[in-house]
Each structure stands twice: as structure tokens, then as C-alpha cells.
Structure 1
Amino acid sequence: MTSGRQIEAKPYDLEERTYRFALVTRLFLKRQSWDPASWPDVRQLLRSSGSVAANYVEFIEGLSGDDKTYRLRISKKEARESGLWLRLLSDCNSLPPESAAELRELKQESDELVRILAAIIRKRVS
């Protein structure tokens, strides 16, 4: 991401990476002036980006194999949902070029998290 608030090197530690996704999303949202029509999308993005990280932590602490797989599925679902809110915010707002680029990077990160989590789920259930 740009402006010194980026996920510099993507950590191999997925717990840290999901945390950074939630953090950078919050920092990005705080710096913007959103149209009132976008406020629901902003709130939903705040929830879903944090839920990616929270459910990954729950996966780590899961009590059973089924619980762990369920938490991974929720984390993946929330990453995908974050991508939807990012896309809506991008398509419904005129952002300055730097902010638009940062939003695209957040969308790319949400897409990468979906793919990573999907691969982990496939490996667990096979």
C-alpha cells in the first residue's frame, strides 16, 4: 500500500497478514471523506476486514478439526466479502489517484487472502 501505511513485505505468518489487512483497511478508511451513501459500505468493510483476522485467530485456537475448518471457511467468506465492499467503494466514489491505488491494493490483498485460505481449506478437507 502507499503512504507509508503499507503491508511492506507480505508476512508468511497468516495471523499477522490478516491483522495487517484489517489495520491497513482501517487506516485507509479513516483518511477518506466518504459520501453518506457509502457509509453503510464503509461500516460493512470495517466489520468484514476485522472478521477475516478474528476468525483466523479462532482457527488457530480451534478445539476440533471441524471447528478449525469452519473458522477457516468464515475467514475466507469475510475476505471475499471485504473485496465486495472495496469494489463498491471504488465504483461509487471519486477518489484521488493515490487513494484509488491504495484501494486497489487492498482489493488485491483481499483476493490473495481468499486464494490462500481456499488452498488451506482444500488441503484440510482432502
Structure 2
Amino acid sequence: MAAVDDKRDFVSQLQDRTKRFVLRSIKVFKALPSNEEARIVGKQFLRSTSSVGANYRAVCRARSQNEFFAKISITIEEADESLFWMEIMSESGILPFEKLSALMTEAEELVKILSKARKNTK
């Protein structure tokens, strides 16, 4: 029974963590300069980050192992895409790296955690 409780705690904590990732991303989005390139990249960034939280919720509701695998794969892709857009924002000078580094670290950690969970389903 302890293993089941541990799994539930892990799932709940990861749901909270992915939601916080989205909320932190909204703050970054709001801090973007108001120019055309920032708006274009920012919208892509916000779509991918919000997809991480929404898709992880869907992972938790998967009705089969195949559905779980498919949905967690989407979540990993979106977390990695979020990281890509943060790299673009930093390297293009839209936002300084210092404003993005903590969120980039979180995205990297989420990719690793989710990838390990996916690997364990095989």
C-alpha cells in the first residue's frame, strides 16, 4: 500500500510542479518587450509551456498504457519545445539569460523526469 501512496504523491507533486511551470511562464510572457518578434516568439513559448501542464493532467487520466505512453510523449515534446523557445528568447536578446535560467532549468528537469517515467512504461 505504501508504494501506491508514494506513486499518488509523486503524480500529485508533478501535477503541481507542471502547473507552477505554466504560471511562472505566464510571468515571463508578461515581462516580454512589446515588439513584434517578442510577441511571435512569446506566443509560441506560452503555447508550449501551457501544453506541458495541460497534457500532464491528461497523462494522469490515461485509460491504458498505450494512451499513457502517447500522452506523456506529447508532454515531453512540449517541455523540450518550451526550452527551445527560451533559448531563442535568450540568444536573440529578447530577454536576458538571467531572467530565463531558472525556468530553463525547470524545463530540463521536467524533460528528464517525464522521460524516465515514459521509459519505465516500456
Identity of aligned residues (%): 30
Local SS of the residue matching 1:72: helix
Measured in 2, the distance between the counterparts of 1:34 and 1:76 equals 29
1:62 alignment partner in structure 2: 62
1:93 alignment partner in structure 2: 93
Go from structure 1 to structure 2 and tell me whether the alpha carbon gap of 1:78 and 1:94 turns closer, same or farther (over 3 Å shift). Answer: closer
1:40 alignment partner in structure 2: 40
Contact 1:19 1:53 in 2 (8 A): yes
1:8 alignment partner in structure 2: none
**How far does residue 87 in structure 1 lie from its aligned partner after superposition?**
0.4
**How far does residue 17 in structure 1 lie from its aligned partner after superposition?**
0.4
**How far does residue 36 in structure 1 lie from its aligned partner after superposition?**
1.3
2:118 alignment partner in structure 1: 121
Measured in 1, the distance between the counterparts of 2:16 and 2:41 equals 25
Counterpart residue type for residue 38 of structure 1: A
Measured in 2, the distance between the counterparts of 1:14 and 1:40 equals 29
CA RMSD of aligned residues (A): 1.5
Q: CA deviation digits over 1:34-77, x for unaligned, max 9?
A: 43123221001110001111111001011111111111100000
**How far does residue 88 in structure 1 lie from its aligned partner after superposition?**
0.2
Instruction: Return 5+ residue gaps in structure 1 as ranges.
Output: 1-11
Measured in 2, the distance between the counterparts of 1:34 and 1:19 equals 26
Counterpart residue type for residue 116 of structure 2: A
Aligned residues: 111
Give the helix-richer structure, 1 or 2.
2
Measured in 1, the distance between the counterparts of 2:82 and 2:88 equals 10
**How far does residue 94 in structure 1 lie from its aligned partner after superposition?**
5.3
| 27-36 or 103-112: bigger deviation | 27-36
Measured in 2, the distance between the counterparts of 1:50 and 1:90 equals 19
User: What is the TM-score when the length of structure 1 is the normalising length?
Assistant: 0.82
Counterpart residue type for residue 110 of structure 2: L
1:23 alignment partner in structure 2: 23
